[in-house]
Amino acid sequence: MPPRLQLVIFSLCAIGNVLAGAATDTKPIGPSPAGAATDPKPAMRVLRDQCVGCHKPGKAKGGLLLTTAEKMMKGGDNGVPVKPGKAADSLLYQSVLADADPHMPPKKNLTAAEITALKTWIDSGAVWDAKVFDEAPAPKQVKLAAMPANYQPVLALVLSPDEKRLAIARANAVVIVDLTKPERPVLGKLEGQTELVSALAWSRDGKWLVSGGFQRLFVWDASTLKQVRVLNESLIGSITTAVFDASGSAVFAADGETGGAGFIRKFDLATGKLITTWKAHEDNVLALRLSPKGDRLLSGGADKLAKLWDSANNKLVSFYEGHTSHVLSVAFNKDATQIATAGADREVKLWNTTSGEQETSLGDKKNAFTALAWSPDGKTLVVLTGKGGGSLYTDFVRHTGGERSEGAKERKLTSITETPTSVVITGDSKTVFAGAFDGKIYVWDGATGKSGGEVKM
């Protein structure tokens, strides 16, 4: 597993089981006894939170899938787990009892209420309500272990809109660096989180900064560097990525349980209230970007997909399927006619947002790509690999049918010995900054690709 993926899993710090995708209808699996309770939601939530983690595509223990009614009733190595109308004769119910052998779920007991919910559901005909699988689970109280003092990774970078300052998520603080001076002095440090800062966003008007941690977002006044408020409503895991809307009045943030479905949430900045939540990916959301006009939101996920959303109504506009592993980073070009996606499958792909077709594939397929960024003028795409290498691409050549050839002019960056996690490029494409696991910020000259040293902190 690439180091970036290991960090994603580590920094999520979530516990519990996972969600999975399912069909969207509500249907009876068997007959419902007259007068029996038929609300399937309590039982479906037990399946979602306690069972699906071990019985989903890619991890079907005992050959059993519990992500749809059809898959459940197909059964596994031990047969069909549910006999509608007969809980006492159903393997699913029998296996969750305290004295069951084998016992499910492993290493824990369901509560009496959860066991009753399953029994009632099966006795009532096992009506399947797939909509429950799209709900975000309720937050759980989690006690985080103390972070080692020598663990100082940089997980996110963001330039101020005027490009005069660079915000750096380093360990559990945000460092603000002045880029107007050759020595790039530190202007200040935003402190208040005890956990890793896993996401950063700067509003387009330059007024606000948001830093993401575990089950909370910190809002900072970018001029005074003072904390304004904390957003934490309904958050269930680490904030993997965040971005402001075009107005700067709301922020989109992604979170989810480790290995579970990825949710995007929209918060009102003035009130701190949660505006909306939607299930965006079948696995964690690892990247978010807003289009230059602000009308589209682009997400990349561990489910191997990139998705384009209408930022006003959260409706899916299109999706981009072609990566064979996690999509770790995404970016828009200047006019949002193209998007770039970087994956753990050692591919960088360029897509046409109108046709949805893949136009170009970049890279030598030797290393996983951990980060990419498109310059604001749309002329330069910088990509970094998990081995510390990187390239600047310009003069893109469009191909049809995903044809692989020289898709752009490439200028190599001087390699570093660490795994980069994040990257930004200035609007004139003259300077590239990258954060890495060792807590350093590396700098390159965009014109030559040569190393420009490090940002001192």
Share of the chain above pLDDT 70, in %: 90
pLDDT at 6: 44
- Residue 274 banded pLDDT, cuts 50, 70, 90: very high
**Over the stretch 168-198, which tens digit does the pLDDT of each residue have?**
999 999 999 999 999 999 999 999 889 999 9
**Over the stretch 229-238, which tens digit does the pLDDT of each residue have?**
999 999 999 9
- Residue 389 banded pLDDT, cuts 50, 70, 90: very high
Domain boundaries, the chain: 39-123, 154-455
Segment 331-340 shows an average pLDDT of 96
- 218-254 burial: b if 16+ Cβ within 10 Å, else e: bbbebeeeebeeebbebbbbbbbbbbbbbebebbbbb
Instruction: Give the residue from 304, 297, 332 showing the smallest Cα distance to 320.
Output: 304
pLDDT at 397: 80
Q: In the predicted model, is pLDDT for residue 332 greater than 90?
A: yes
pLDDT at 21: 32
Q: Determine the CATH number of domain 154-455.
A: 2.130.10.10
Q: In the predicted model, is pLDDT for residue 444 greater than 80?
A: yes
Q: In the predicted model, is pLDDT for residue 19 greater than 70?
A: no
Beta strands in 232-326 (DSSP E): 241-244, 250-255, 262-268, 274-281, 285-290, 296-301, 305-310, 316-321
434: enclosing H helix or E strand:
strand 431-436
Average pLDDT score over the chain: 89
- Residue 11 banded pLDDT, cuts 50, 70, 90: very low
Q: In the predicted model, is pLDDT for residue 434 greater than 80?
A: yes
Segment 140-144 shows an average pLDDT of 84
pLDDT at 146: 85
Higher pLDDT among residues 79 and 399, named by residue: 79
Segment 326-354 shows an average pLDDT of 95
Segment 206-220 shows an average pLDDT of 97
Residue 362 β-bridge partners: 348
pLDDT at 224: 97
Question: Cis ω on the peptide bond leading into residue 161 (within 30° of 0)?
Answer: no
- Residue 260 banded pLDDT, cuts 50, 70, 90: confident
